[in-house]
Chains A and B, each alone.
Chain A
Amino acid sequence: MNRIAVRTSCVCKGFGEGESRTEVLKEVNFEAQMGELLMLVGPSGCGKTTLLSVIAGTLGVDRGEVEVFDSPLHRLQTKEVTQFRASNIGFIFQQYNLIPTLNCIENVSVPLRIQGATAADAEDKAAAMLETVGLGKRIRHRPNMLSGGQQQRVAIARALVHDPKLIICDEPTAALDSENGARVMEILRGVAARPDRCVIIVTHDNRIFRYADRMTHMEDGRIHHTDNPETGAMERQ
C-alpha cells in the first residue's frame, strides 16, 4: 500500500496586500498516502492550518498544485471543490463545531443531508455511526449535554458518516484530557487502518504523536522533514 492520497507541489499561499502581505506557505511539497495517519506538526504560525485548509479545498492557492485522490483541486471551480469536499472529505475541528441547537443524531446526519439523503436514511446511518463511537445511548442529546470528549466523538461520527476517503483533523485532542484524547485517537487510528482512507491531523499535542504513521514537520511556511516515529526513518526536503 503506497498509493498517494494527497500531493501538493510548490504550493504558495499568502495573505494581505502590499507591505502587509505575509507569505504563509512557501513552495510546499507534501504527500500523504492511503491507509496512513499522518500528523502535521510544527510551531504556531508555521503554516500547518493553512496547508490543511489548502488540502481540504477550503482555501485556494496562489501558486502550485494540489491533488487529492488524483483530483486537481487547484484547477476546479468553487462549486466543484464544494462538491468534492462533500463527497470525499470528513472534518474534525478543535472546537468540534457541532450545531448547538441540533441533537447528536441531527448533527451527525448533516454531511449526508448535504449530499441529498433523506432525513430518515441519514438518521439511520448517523445512529449506527454514533453506536460505533460509543454514543448509541445519547443520540437525542444536544451537544451542551455532553462532555468535551463525547462532543469530539460526535464530531468524529459526523466526519465519518458519509464514508469519506480523507479525514482532516485540526487539533482534535487539544481540548481533551489524556483519557478522552487517547480514546479519540484510537478511533482515528482505526479509521486510518483502512487501506482506502487517509487521516491528516494538525496537532501540537505530543501525547498523541505515538499514533502517527508519519509526522511531517513544518517550519516557517515550509516542510522541514517527515519522519516515521516507529522506524526513526527521516526524509528531509
Chain B
Amino acid sequence: MNDLALKMLLGDRAKYIMLVSGLTFASLLMTEQAAIFCGIMQWSGSTLDNVGAPIWVVDPMVEQVNDTEALRDTDLHRVRSVEGVAWAAPFYQGVLRTRMRDGSFKFVQLVGIDAATFAGAPAEVVEGDLNQLRLPNTVILDEYGAQKLSRDPARPIAVGDSFEINDHEARVVGICRTRMSFSGNPYVFTTYDQALQYAPGTRKMLSCVLVGAAEGKEPAAVARRIGQATGLKAYTRDEFFWLTVWWFIENTGIPVAFGATVLLGFVVGLAISSQTFYSFVLENLRNLGALKAMGASDRVLARMVMLQTLTVGLIGYGCGVGLASLFGMVVLRKGMPPFFLPWQLPLLTLGAVLFICWMAASLGIRKIRQLEPAVVFRG
C-alpha cells in the first residue's frame, strides 16, 4: 500500500507542493538562522582562533576573551615558574584608532605578540614576511583590514604601505588571513613591545599570558595548576571559547533574536504543514473511508499517512537544508554575514521537521481513527 499512498500524495500536485514548500521554508529558516547564530558565536571567540595559544592566563575578573583586565608584568614570570609550563609569552590586545594618509580614521583590533617566540602569531601569512615584524613600527594586517582601511576599494592596502595607529607610524610588512572579529574591526598584529608604543600608556598593559604546556602534559591540567599557583584564571583554548560563547548568550540579546526567528520557522512550518496535511486528509476522507470499508485497518491507513508526511518532510528538509547550505557557500565567499553550519545543526533541524511531520500525521491519523467506514454509504 506504500506505493499507493505515495501516488495519492503526488497526485494532488497543489497540496504536495504546498506541503513541501512549507517544510522547505521551515527547514531553511531554522537551519540558516541557527547557522548565522553559530557564526556570530564563532566570531565572538575569533581571537582564540587567530591567536593559536593552547592556554590563556587572564585576570580573575575577565569573563570572556574580548574582556581586558590587565595583569602585572610580574605575573608573566609567576606563570613561567609553574610546573608543566613549556613557555609563557606576553600578549596585548586592545581596540585602537588608526588614521589613514587622507585623514580618515577607523578602529582596529591591535594584537601584540612576543617578538622572541612569535607565540600567538597569525597562522597564515598570505603576503610579506612574519620575521619583518621585529623591525620597528611594523605591523601585519589581515585581509579584511587591507580592504577596510583602504580608501580605494580597487586598491587594498599592500605590503609597504603605511598608516598611523594612535599617532605612531605603522608600516605594513605582511597580510594575514584571520577569522573576522565580533566587533567587525580588522586584526592588526605587531610585537608586544611595539603594541605598548601604539597603545595609550597605563599602569598595567599585559592583557594576558599565552602559555604552552610541556610535552606530555595535559593543557587542562596545566591550566588548573597555573590557577592554583598564581591565583589567576587559566583556561584552555576550548574552555575560554565556551566561556565566551556562554557570556554572549547570557549577556546579549543575540540568542533571543535568533531563537525567535528559529522558533518562527518552526511554528510556521508546523502550522502550514499541519493545516495543509489535515485538509489533505479531510479531502480524502471519503476515499479513506472506502479503503477502511474494503478492509484496510487503521494501522495500514496510519502507516500510509505517516509515509506521506515523512515523504514531504524529508523532501522539504532536503530542499531547506540544501538552500541554507547554498546560502552559506555564497556568504562564506563574501565573508558576511557570519555562517557556521556544524553537523549537529542539520540533525537538529531534521528532528524539528520530523516532529512537525509527526504532529501533522497525528492530526490526520486521529481523524482516520474516528472515521466510521459506514460513512461511504452516506450520500
Contacts and interface: CB of A to CB of B under 8 A. Distances in A.
Contacts of A147: none
Interface string B291-319: 11111110010000000000000000000
A58 interface: yes
A114 B296 contact: yes
A125 interface: no
Contacts of A87: 295
A82 B3 contact: no
B11 interface: yes
B372 A91 contact: no
Interface in A16-59: 49, 52-53, 56, 58-59
B230 interface: no
A79 B295 CA distance: 9
Contact of B7 (A58, A86, A89, A106): A106
A97 B287 contact: yes
Nearest to B379: A94
Interface string B143-186: 00000000000000000000000000000000000000000000
Contact of A97 (B295, B296, B376): B376
B377 A82 contact: no
B4 A97 contact: no
Interface of B is mostly: helix
B374 interface: yes
Nearest to B11: A101
A71 interface: no
Instruction: Count chain A CB atoms within 10 A of each CB in B1, B287, B293, B378 and give the residue with the most.
Output: B293
Interface residues of A, number: 33
B96 interface: no
A111 B295 contact: yes
B294 A110 contact: yes
A59 B376 CA distance: 11
Interface in B45-61: none
B11 A82 contact: no
A119 B6 CA distance: 14
Contacts of B374: 53, 56, 58-59
Interface residues of B, number: 28
Contacts of A83: 295, 297
A49 B377 contact: yes
B215 interface: no
A95 B378 CA distance: 10
Contacts of A158: 294
A101 B7 contact: yes
B295 A58 contact: no
B10 to A, nearest CB: 7
Interface string A99-125: 111100010001101110001000000
B264 interface: no
Interface in A115-138: 115, 119
Contacts of B3: 119
A114 B291 CA distance: 8
A53 B374 CA distance: 6
B372 A101 contact: no
Contacts of B12: 101
Given A52-B377, A59-B372, A100-B11, A110 B4 contact: yes
Given A59-B372, A97-B287, A79 B297 contact: yes
B297 A53 contact: no
B286 interface: yes
B328 interface: no
Contact of A102 (B7, B296, B297, B372): B7
Contacts of A106: 4, 7
B293 A85 contact: yes
Nearest to A115: B295
Interface string B16-44: 00000000000000000000000000000
A160 B287 CA distance: 18
A95 B294 CA distance: 15
B290 interface: yes
Contacts of B290: 91, 93, 97, 99
B8 interface: yes
Instruction: Count chain B CB atoms within 10 A of each CB in A52, A82, A83, A102 and give the residue with the most.
Output: A82
Nearest to A93: B376
Nearest to B13: A101
Interface string B262-300: 000000000000000000000010110111111111001
A146 B294 CA distance: 22
Contact of A53 (B1, B7, B377): B377
Contacts of B297: 79, 82-83
A-B pairs, top 6 by smallest CB distance, nearest first, are A101-B11, A86-B295, A97-B290, A58-B373, A53-B374, A58-B374
28 contacts: A49-B378, A53-B374, A58-B292, A58-B373, A58-B376, A59-B374, A82-B295, A83-B295, A85-B294, A86-B295, A86-B296, A91-B293, A91-B294, A93-B377, A95-B286, A99-B290, A100-B287, A101-B8, A101-B10, A110-B294, A111-B294, A113-B1, A113-B4, A114-B294, A114-B295, A114-B296, A158-B294, A170-B377
Interface of B: 1, 3-4, 7-8, 10-12, 284, 286-287, 289-297, 300, 372-374, 376-379
Given A58-B372, A171-B379, 15 more contacts: A49-B377, A58-B293, A79-B297, A82-B292, A84-B295, A85-B373, A86-B295, A91-B290, A91-B376, A93-B376, A95-B286, A97-B376, A101-B8, A102-B7, A114-B296
